[in-house]
Amino acid sequence: MRSIVRIENVSKEYRRGSERVPVLHDVNLDIAQGQFVGLIGPSGSGKSTLLNLIAGLDRPTSGHIFVDGHEISRMGDTALARWRTSAVGFVFQFYHLIPVLSAYENVELPLLLLRLSASRRREQVTNALNLVGLSHRVQHRPGQLSGGEQQRVGIARALVTDPSLVVADEPTGDLDSHRSEEILDLLQQLQEALRKTILMVTHDPLAAERVERLYEMGEGRLIETESVHSR
């Protein structure tokens, strides 16, 4: 199975005035296409920083990051933004839906940045909403949807561009246990049916049990845990 994410000796530090603040130390990681990978660790351990680097939202201080054959750590800003639009789907803890737009319009937003006809956009949005079981809620605004339904809209939006990689940052963090299970079921089903590669940051032990490979961040370093769950 080919690698879709490869990280080689990546370090990241930020500056606070004249002080250098190290966040990641010489991280290496390889994720195969179609895997569901979890990343756990305490607040401040560097897991969200690593997620942002892999998603092309930030750049490493040193090292190399390859996603689906592209060395994104060497891309210029314009090329990186263009790549990110089509290659990465984002699922957030607090959904990040626009309140005045319908579910359909929220899912359509990423496609407006691509050169697609209206009919092609309509087809992709309809397919994405069908995949998450919301074909009957397309005209509802976020305020008319439950938290679980809003997260389903967020997942449809992440899938609508047919990305190589889906990154999920605490996707169940704002949901009760029942709706969390539903969202985890959905992510698992989509990963298995579509063979999407999913990288999920989570504090939720139930979510961590769903992944195929589980890594733990601690003080900016990455280790694979002993409890790796294969389905």
Q: What is the pLDDT of residues 69-84, one digit of tens each?
A: 999 999 999 999 999 9
Percent of the chain with pLDDT over 90: 75
Q: How confident is the model at residue 226 (pLDDT cuts 50, 70, 90)?
A: low
What does the alpha-carbon distance between residue 183 and residue 223 come to, in Å, rounded to a whole number?
26
Tell me the mean pLDDT in the region 32-56.
92
C-alpha–C-alpha distance, residues 56 and 129, integer Å: 26
Sequential DSSP letters for 32-79: ETT-EEEEE--TTSSHHHHHHHHTTSS--SEEEEEETTEEGGG--HHH
Secondary structure of residue 80 in the 3-state scheme:
helix
For position 118, what pLDDT does the model report?
Answer: 95
Question: What is the pLDDT at residue 231?
Answer: 43
Mean pLDDT (the chain, rounded): 92
* pLDDT grade for 32, boundaries at 50, 70 and 90: very high
All structural domains of the chain, each given as residue ranges with its CATH number in brackets, are: 3-224 (3.40.50.300)
This prediction's pTM: 0.91
* pLDDT at residue 185 greater than cutoff 50: yes
The mean pLDDT of 185-210, rounded to a whole number, is 90
Compute the distance between CA of residue 63 and CA of residue 67 in angstroms, rounded to an integer: 14
Model confidence pLDDT, tens digit, residues 47-67: 999 999 999 999 999 999 999
For the chain, the distance separating the N- and C-terminal CA atoms, rounded to the nearest angstrom, is 16
Q: How confident is the model at residue 230 (pLDDT cuts 50, 70, 90)?
A: very low
The amino acid sitting at 205 is P
Whole-angstrom distance, CA of residue 122 vs CA of residue 111 = 10
**Which pLDDT does position 228 carry in this prediction?**
47
pLDDT digits (tens, 9 = 90+) for 72-124: 999 999 999 999 999 999 999 888 999 999 999 999 999 999 989 999 999 99
Indicate the pLDDT class of residue 211, thresholds 50, 70 and 90: very high
Strand partners, 10: 27
Q: List, for residues 168-183, the tens digit of each pLDDT value.
A: 999 998 889 999 999 9
Question: Residue 161 — very low, low, confident or very high, per pLDDT cuts 50/70/90?
Answer: very high
User: Are 74 and 22 spatial neighbours (Cβ–Cβ below 8 Å)?
Assistant: no
Alpha helix stretches (DSSP H) within the chain: 47-54, 77-87, 103-108, 118-131, 147-159, 177-194, 205-208
Residue 155's alpha-carbon distances to 47, 158, 190, in angstroms, are 21, 5, 10
From the list 117, 125, 182, the residue with the least C-alpha distance to 149 is 182
Statement: residue 207 has pLDDT above 50 = yes
Report pLDDT digits (tens) over 116-151. Answer: 999 999 999 999 999 999 999 999 999 999 999 999
